[in-house]
Structure 1
């Protein structure tokens, strides 16, 4: 394996995976429309600016890089409240355009795909724990786009000589420990982003939803360091043919990528306060449109198939996220 095409490779996840691949001597070829990704994140990397639905562009990418071994599809719109207010936009960007991408991959003979999915597709369970066999019941347009694409990909592997590994992400936090890349948005909408914003700007932090059926009423998540997530991608790519054998009857495999530890929002606040050494002004509010109780991973299959487990702690994630925000806001200001 010499090259991997990463769609959305100028974004948070894609750029971090690109760094992890480079560290392993594998060259990322990046395709991103820069609607959310950052040009700074692809500096000194092979980069094509454009849309995943641009079939002529995909043909050019494969013509210029015939040694592409696999495609990692990270490009997607991901903001849950926005997906509620703009569902057609999300279905077009995340589903319709991905179908166009898959046609390009098939036409160019690309037989290996790793798909960035989401644990948000899981139906709530009594203990909030989810393994790969847990029922799915996506509750927002964003999550439904991921659930739909999983079905599309599974059907595709039945009809065509292609193989797919689906990685269902839990809740990425932190940044590349070397601070090469991180969250491109200095004020993200997820819980840790809002905690960092509250800490740096002296504003209140609001827990949205305090009547969930969890141990303290707040939502529960599995916060995985983005570098551990990137390592899981490298493992999926380097072990691809062992995980989904070329001659296998079933050429589609789903793997959870999480720590296996559930953390409530209130517990995240406590960990954050411990990391920064001060208390925050914490307030409570009702649930937002599209919010879910959350879940945490059973990571047994990732260990078995990928030889992977999470290595970094929640505090590591908080500290790296803080370090990245300080560096990134300074760069934006300069």
Structure 2
């Protein structure tokens, strides 16, 4: 099987590509490298460009007519940034997805996996949600995911298109083989902020301590990114079982552990893995923040035969390992990619791995 992965040079997309390769699935990666990394597409079929570039998407399908499905995880994802720049998020996440989807329909690619988000949910009193829970996004980022889901539902009714929308909870960790990890030097999510605090000595800020949770801090469902990637492989393998061929359809599946962990509980787990405490500071909620949710759904197990295998501690451990390796793994390919830019138009040759990246 060959699949197109939009955003396949980013943290989650590159991990999905690795899981595909391990499972014998060939990824074809489309990424503009605005946040993705050239190092993450070494020795992989890679096209550098925008998902809204119709000519490029047509070219990909002309050169790879055996693509059987698309995984769409190209998006901007920082909640406070979306509050400050909503038009950018609607343009990048919604407008460009419409253009991308139009090209996919025209090229006859009828299997579509969408990277959605549990941020769209309205949490219940216990913060647990399933796929039937009300949608009540509270940030432009979350609204953009909900809007794309509506576009996909309408498109699945109108065209020869089958869509599985995978609603992610909170990815942590890195590829256990350390091929890829979080590409940002200063990530905005909570675990990244904890790791940054260990490296800089700056206090970790618990943003929001008055939520109606058991300890006042936000609650999340932290799922290892490798488990998340393997869920995509299972969704690709079982796509025709979940949604029968020849019949347009739309299905939603939560991807989480089913365990709600508060920020304070995550901090305790983090310091246990780290082996020492870190300084903390209590801070107000950030714009666009929510109390959080965790999944109570069994649909991923029932439809995909998937359940998480890696623990929260595994995710913390792998995140710490990647943070130690990140600076040595990233950087050299930026210059290599610049050289490759002059060698081809759209399709980039595979970059030769250096010994430190093998």
Same fold by TM-score, threshold 0.5 exceeded? yes
The residue aligned with 1:169 is 168
Q: Does 1:182 align with 2:181?
A: yes
Q: Does 1:20 align with 2:19?
A: yes
SS state of the match for residue 282, structure 2? strand
SS state of the match for residue 27, structure 2? strand
How far 1:218 moved relative to its partner? 0.1
Trace 1:146-165 onto structure 2 (pairs within 5 A).
Answer: 146-165=145-164
Distance 1:171 1:47 in 2: 27
Q: Which runs of 5+ in 1 are unaligned?
A: none
How far 1:333 moved relative to its partner? 7.5
Distance 1:62 1:325 in 2: 36
Trace 1:211-230 onto structure 2 (pairs within 5 A).
Answer: 211-230=210-229
Superposed CA deviations along residues 199-227 of structure 1, whole A, max 9, x for unmatched, are 12221000000000000000000000000
Give the direction of change, closer, same or farther, for the CA distance of 1:47–1:270 in structure 2 (3 Å limit): same
The residue aligned with 1:264 is 262
Aligned counterpart in structure 2 of residue 300 of structure 1, from 267, 277, 298? 298
The residue aligned with 1:278 is 276
The residue aligned with 2:37 is 38
Aligned residues: 332
The residue aligned with 2:325 is 327
The residue aligned with 1:83 is 82
Distance 2:312 2:327 in 1: 22
Distance 2:133 2:60 in 1: 37
The residue aligned with 1:74 is 73
The residue aligned with 1:310 is 308
**TM-score, scaled to structure 1:** 0.98
Cα pair 1:71 1:114 within 8 Å, conserved = yes
Distance 1:17 1:241 in 2: 19
Cα pair 1:173 1:192 within 8 Å, conserved = yes
Distance 2:281 2:45 in 1: 45
Write out the 4+ residue segments of structure 1 that deviate beyond 4 Å after TM superposition: none
The residue aligned with 1:99 is 98
The residue aligned with 2:336 is none
**TM-score, scaled to structure 2:** 0.91
SS state of the match for residue 299, structure 1? coil
SS state of the match for residue 227, structure 2? helix
SS state of the match for residue 157, structure 2? helix
Give the direction of change, closer, same or farther, for the CA distance of 1:234–1:332 in structure 2 (3 Å limit): closer
Distance 1:116 1:213 in 2: 29
SS state of the match for residue 47, structure 1? strand
Cα pair 1:17 1:230 within 8 Å, conserved = yes
Cα pair 2:39 2:330 within 8 Å, conserved = no
Aligned-residue CA RMSD (Å): 1.0
How far 1:246 moved relative to its partner? 2.1
Distance 1:269 1:278 in 2: 11
Superposed CA deviations along residues 153-180 of structure 1, whole A, max 9, x for unmatched, are 0000000011000000000000000000
Cα pair 1:116 1:168 within 8 Å, conserved = yes
Superposed CA deviations along residues 1-30 of structure 1, whole A, max 9, x for unmatched, are x20000000000000000000001110000
Distance 1:306 1:43 in 2: 29
Cα pair 2:131 2:297 within 8 Å, conserved = no
How far 1:299 moved relative to its partner? 3.5
